[in-house]
Structure 1
Amino acid sequence: MRLPGSSLAAVVLTAPLLVAGQLDYYAKKAGLQYFGAATDTPGQRERAPFPATYATYSAILTNPREFGQTTPTNGMKWLFTEPEAGVFNYTEGEVVAGLAAATGKTLRCHALVWHNQLAPWVENTTWTPDTLRAAITRHVANVASHWKGRCHAWDVVNEALDEDGTYRKSLFYNVLGEEYIKLAFQAAAKADPGAKLYYNDYGIERPGSVKTAGALRLVKMLRDAGVRIDGVGMQAHLHADVHPTAQDHVDTMNAFTALGVAEVAFTELDVRIEMPVNATNLAWQADSYRAVATACVRVPKCVGITLWDFYDPFSWVPDTFPGQGAALLWFDNFTVHPAYDVLIDTFKGLAKANLTAPSHLKGSLCRVDGIK
Structure 2
Amino acid sequence: MRPIRFATTALAVTALTAPLAAPPAVADGFHDRHWPPHHSNGKAERLRWAAPADFRIGTAVAGGGHHTEQDYPDPFTSDRKYRKVLARQFDSVSPENQMKWEYIHPEQGEYDFEMADRIVDFAWRHGQVVRGHTLLWHSQNPDWLEEGDFTEEELRAILRDHITTVVGRYKGRIQQWDVANEIFDGDGELRTEENIWLRELGPGIIADAFRWAHQADPHAELYLNDYNVEGVNAKSDAYYELSRELLADGVPLHGFSAQGHLSLDYPFPGSMEENLRRFDELGLGTAVTEVDVRMTLPESGEPTEEQLDTQADYYRQALQACLDVDSCDSFTIWGFNDKYSWVPVTFEGQGSATVMTDDYTRKPSFFALHEALKEEKKWPGWPGHGRGGHWR
Do they superpose with TM above 0.5?
yes
Equivalent in 172, 186, 195 of residue 149 of structure 1 = 172
Amino acid at match of 1:142: T
Tell me how far apart the structure 2 counterparts of residues 54 and 139 of structure 1 sit (CA, whole Å).
Answer: 31
Residues of 1 paired with 2:213 and 2:152: CA distance?
19
- The equivalent of 2:117 in structure 1 is 94
Tell me the residue number matched to 1:41.
Answer: 63
In the alignment, which residue of structure 1 is the partner of 2:28?
Answer: none
Q: Distance in 2 between matches of 1:44 and 1:20?
A: 32
Deviates more, 1:308-317 or 1:351-360: 351-360
Gap change, CA 1:86 and 1:28, over 3 Å in 2: same
Aligned residue in 1 for 2:287: 265
2:135 aligned counterpart, secondary structure: strand
Shift of 1:292: 1.3
Show the counterpart of 1:347.
373
Aligned partner of 1:313 among 319, 328, 339 = 339
* Alignment CA distance shift 1:125-1:36 (3 Å): same
Q: Note if contact 1:297-1:363 (Cα within 8 Å) is conserved in structure 2.
A: no
Alpha-carbon deviation of 1:240? Answer: 2.5
User: Structure 1 stretches of 5 or more lacking a match?
Assistant: 1-16, 368-372
The whole-number CA distance in structure 2 between the counterparts of 1:327 and 1:85 is 36
> 1:288 aligned to 314, 336, 353, which one?
314
In the TM superposition, residue 41 of structure 1 has moved relative to its aligned partner by: 2.9
Q: How does 1:96-115 map to 2 (within 5 A)?
A: 96-115=119-138
Distance, in Å, in 2 between the alignment partners of 1:296 and 1:73 is 21
The match for 1:25 among 49, 53, 70 is: 49
1:288 maps to a residue whose letter is Y
Q: Tell me, in whole angstroms, the C-alpha distance in 2 between the residues paired with 1:40 and 1:273.
A: 20
**Please, which runs of 5 or more residues in structure 2 have no aligned partner?**
1-40
Q: Given the two structures, how large is their TM-score scaled by the length of structure 1? A: 0.86
1:93, 1:159 → 2: CA distance?
Answer: 22
CA contact (8 A) 2:182 2:225 kept: yes
Secondary structure at 1:83's aligned position in 2? coil
TM alignment of 1:28-177, pairs within 5 A: 28=52, 32-42=54-64, 44=67, 47-48=70-71, 54-63=79-88, 66-168=89-191, 169=193, 170-177=195-202
Task: Give the Cα–Cα distance (whole angstroms) in 2 for the partners of residues 361 and 108 of structure 1.
Answer: 21
Select the residue among 323, 329, 337 that pairs with 1:297.
323
Residues 292/361 of structure 1: CA separation in 2 closer, same or farther (3 Å cut):
closer
Q: CA deviation at 1:218?
A: 2.1
Conserved 8 A contact 2:100-2:134: yes
Deviations 1:193-239 (A, max 9, x none): 110001111110011x1111111122123112221100112110011
Does the residue aligned with 2:294 lie in a helix, a strand or coil? Answer: strand
Instruction: Work out the number of aligned pairs and report it.
Output: 343
Q: Which of these residues, 248, 270, 273, is aligned with residue 224 of structure 1?
A: 248
Shift of the 363–240 alpha-carbon distance from structure 1 to 2, 3 Å rule, reads: farther
TM-score by length of 2: 0.81
Give RMSD over aligned pairs: 2.5
Q: Distance in 1 between matches of 2:328 and 2:386?
A: 18
Amino acid at match of 1:40: A
Are the counterparts in 1 of residues 381 and 387 from structure 2 also a CA contact under 8 Å?
A: no
Q: Secondary structure at the match of 1:354?
A: coil
